[in-house]
Every structure is written in structure tokens, then in C-alpha cells.
Amino acid sequence: MHFSKNTIQFLKRGVVFAFFTIFLSSPFSIIHAATVDELNEQIAKITETKRQLEEEIATYEVQIKDIGEQASTLKNTIKALDTTIKKNALDIKLIQNNIDSTQLQIKELAININKNINKINNGTEAISSLLSELNAYDNTSFIENLLLYNDLSEFWNQQQNIYIIQNQIAEKIEETIDAKVVLESTKEKTEKKKNDLLKLKSNLLDKTKVLDITKKEKNKLLADTQNSEASYKKILAEKKVLADAFDKELEMFESELKFAIDPSSIPPFQKGILSWPLASVFITSTFGPRWGRLHNGVDFRASIGTDIKAALSGIVRGTGDTDTVCRGASLGKWVFIEHGNGLSTVYAHLSLIKVTAGQTVSTGQLVGFSGNTGASTGPHLHFSVYATQGVRIMDYKSKVCKGTYTMPVSDSKGYLNPAQYLPSLLKI
């Protein structure tokens, strides 16, 4: 490559140096603590630990499923809680494992950042040196250069050296620009990993809270029953009577509601408009008649602490906990999301809520963790879909529970079958 006179003058004026100076600035300090090979070795060990933890967690999930399919006895309930506690403890270990892995990956990226910064520094120094050498030739006229040599062959050799220097400058510029591109890409990856790390640390705190909730639930159950099967059966019976009475009361109240619902505001039935609200899908109860009344949603099997996700982007219109008024009736801890397509969704029986009213959420975003709150005979997620015009968050005064609830209530025409909007059941 041959540089024109104008190009050489451009380089001499130092514009290229200012250009390279801009992207030399970096917030990352040079890391000498470990080599990339050492970090990769540590990451490989952590990855193997992750695999082992995931296998153990999967084993506990199977045990929880099997226990859930057995008779509802105090012994089985305690066994399920114990198994859930063990699983949640492993979840915490797995998250910590992922935190350790992410931190090592950030260190590895930082090493690569500094490596490319060094390449850029070396490149700019080399360019500076070559430009100085080229400048010495350029300050001498063609005639003066010709008269410096005894014969033309020496003169042409020198011109060839100038041509080589020009090519070397071009190569160094290209190498330095390439290093800059890699540097910026690595910086972006590092920032993403840092964000991932913050999410993992937040998730670690959440899972720790869920574990504490599960332990408290077990301790309360043992205290209430005094480890007596008869006492447990009595508590279950009383809870069912209360839940049934409240459901009838709510059903009567909702039957009197007359919300105006424009049919055109409801999107046509189409599979996949909504996403599954949890990663592993197993439906335990569908939408429709059940136990003499309408089951107004879909129940998914979900052990305590399972991540619950928004089925579609939207705005959180409210959250609440019916257990604060009457423990063991209705939704328990719930999240209500209004979507922009005429649909709204509710996620109920949660152990921990992770969103607040007014918050905008995206499809798949964590909204809470599954639990066993409200009128729940075992840990699961209750998921309801509504025509947005047919549902309101209202204060409802209950005679059964002698208190006032704040919860979503719907005109009977406002309930929609979630199966008509969720992905195909063949994917279960």
C-alpha cells in the first residue's frame, strides 16, 4: 500500500494519535492474579459442580412430585416440606456456584481487555516511531534526497524503504483498529456479565427468603398439629370448609357484577399468544367445572420456590395477599398483570412476590415464586386469564372471613380459558 502525500501529512499532524488516545481510556485495571488457563481450569471445575447440583435438584423434584401424588397425610406433607427444603438449599448452592463462575468469567474478560489495551498501546508507539522515520524522509525534497546518494540504485533502495515503512504504518493501524474493536466487544460482554452477576445475587437473596418461608411453614404445621395425624385432618377439614364458603360467597358476588365487555376487545383464540408462566409445565387442573363450580384458571404443579414468569409483557396493576384477612381462603399471595392486547392474567398461591403495582414487565420476567398460600391443598401455581374489561381489583368485604379483601374480581363473562391462548399442550 502506497500513501499519498496528503495521507502522510494527515498522519504527521497527529490526528491518528488523537484517534487512538480516545479508546485507550479504560476503567479496568491490569490483572495479574491468574492466567486465562488458570481461570478456565477453575471455571471447568465449577461447571462440573453445577452439573452435579442440577442432577441432585432434579432428583429432589422427582421426589416432590411423587410425594404430591400420594395421600394427603401429615407424614407426607412433612416429607414434602423436608424435600423442598433440601431442594431449595441446593438451589441456593447452584446460584452461588453460578455467581462464582460469573466472577471468574469477568476476571477472564478483564485479562483480555488489558491484553488488547497493551496491543493498542504497542501499536500507537510503533506508529509513532514509523511516522518519525517517515517524517525525516518527507522533510527532504526529492532533489535533495537524490543528491545524497552516489548512484541511483542507492536512491531507489531508499525509496523502497519508504514504501515499506508506509506499509508497516498501514498494517499497524489496521492491527490497532482490530484490537480496539475486540476491546469494545469485550467491554460489552463484561458489562453484561456484571449485570448477570447482580441478578444472580438478587436471586440468591430471594431463594434464601423462600427457604426461610418453607422452614417456617413446616414449623408452623408441626406446632399446629402437635405432630398428630388427627389434628392435621381436622385442620384440613376446617380449611376446606372455610375455602368453600368463601368461594361460594365470592361466586355470588361476581355473578352480580355487570362489567361492560366489548367482544371485539378480546383477541381471537390463538395458541401461543401467552407464554408458559413457568419453565417446566405440568397441568394438574384445567379450566372448567370442578367440584360443583367453575375452576376459573389452570393449575400448574410447582414446588415452593419455583420461578413464576409473566406470560406476556404488560403493567402490574396490583399485588396482594388474601391470607392477611383470612388464612387459607382464596388466592393467597397474588400478582395481577394487564396486557396491552385486551387480556389480563393473575398468578396466585405465591410464596414471594417480586413485582410492584405500576411496574412494567416483559414476557418471561420473574414476577414471584410459587408457594402454598391461600386456598391451596398443596404447592402449585394457579393461573387465570381475563378479558381486561371484565376484571377489576376491588375491595371486597367478606362475611365469611369477617374482613375486607383487596383482590381481582371478575364478571363471570370475564373469565377466559387459558388453554386457548397458551402454547399447544403437545409441548408439555
- pLDDT for the residue numbered 344: 97
pLDDT given at position 390: 94
Cell numbers of 206, please? Answer: 430471594
Summarize the confidence of residues 404-414 as an average pLDDT.
90
Q: Report the chain's mean pLDDT, rounded to a whole number.
A: 84
| CB contact at 8 A, 190 and 92 | no
Give the model's confidence band at 428: pLDDT under 50 very low, under 70 low, under 90 confident, else very high. Answer: very low
Asked whether residue 63 carries a pLDDT value surpassing 60, the answer given is yes
For residue 13, the model assigns a pLDDT of 42
pLDDT of residue 345: 98
The pLDDT-based confidence of 15 (bands split at 50, 70, 90) is very low
**Residue whose entry in the numeric block shows the C-alpha cell 388453554:** 419
303-341 pLDDT, tens digit each: 999 999 999 999 999 999 999 988 888 899 999 999 999
Q: Is pLDDT of 11 > 60?
A: no
Query: Please, is 218 exposed, middle or buried when counting C-beta atoms within 10 Å of its C-beta (0-12, 13-18, 19+)?
Result: middle
Q: In the structure, what pLDDT confidence band is assigned to residue 124 with cuts at 50, 70 and 90?
A: confident
In tens, the pLDDT along 102-122 reads: 998 888 888 888 887 887 788
**Average pLDDT score over residue span 34-42:** 83
Q: What is the rounded radius of gyration, in angstroms, for the C-alpha atoms of the chain? A: 33
Residue that has been written with the C-alpha cell 426461610 in this structure: 212
The pLDDT tens digits of the residues spanning 125-140 come to 877 777 776 666 655 5
Query: So what's the pLDDT on residue 12?
Result: 42
pLDDT tier, 38 (very low <50, low <70, confident <90, very high otherwise): confident
Q: Express as a percent the part of the chain with pLDDT over 70.
A: 83
Q: How far apart are CA 294 and CA 287, in angstroms?
A: 8
pLDDT computed for residue 25 by the predictor: 40
The answer, yes or no, to whether residue 289 has pLDDT greater than 90, is no
At a CB cut-off of 8 Å and minimum separation 6, what does 183 contact? Answer: 23, 26, 113, 116, 117, 120
Express each pLDDT in 137-180 by its tens digit: 655 555 555 555 556 566 556 667 666 767 777 777 787 777 78
Q: What is the per-residue pLDDT across 340-384, written as a single tens digit (0 to 9) for each?
A: 999 999 999 999 999 999 999 999 999 999 999 998 888 999 999
**What CA–CA distances, in Å, run from 100 to 50, 72, 105, 422?**
11, 40, 9, 36
> What's the pLDDT band for 298 if we cut at 50, 70, 90?
very high
Q: Where are the extended beta strands (E) located within 17-73?
A: none
Q: What is the mean pLDDT of residues 77-98?
A: 93
* Secondary structure string (H, E, C) spanning 320-333: EEHHHCCCCCCCCE
Instruction: Give the mean pLDDT of 81-87.
Output: 93
- The reported pLDDT for the residue numbered 310 is 98
* Lowest mean per-residue pLDDT among 7-21, 67-81, 183-197, 224-238: 7-21
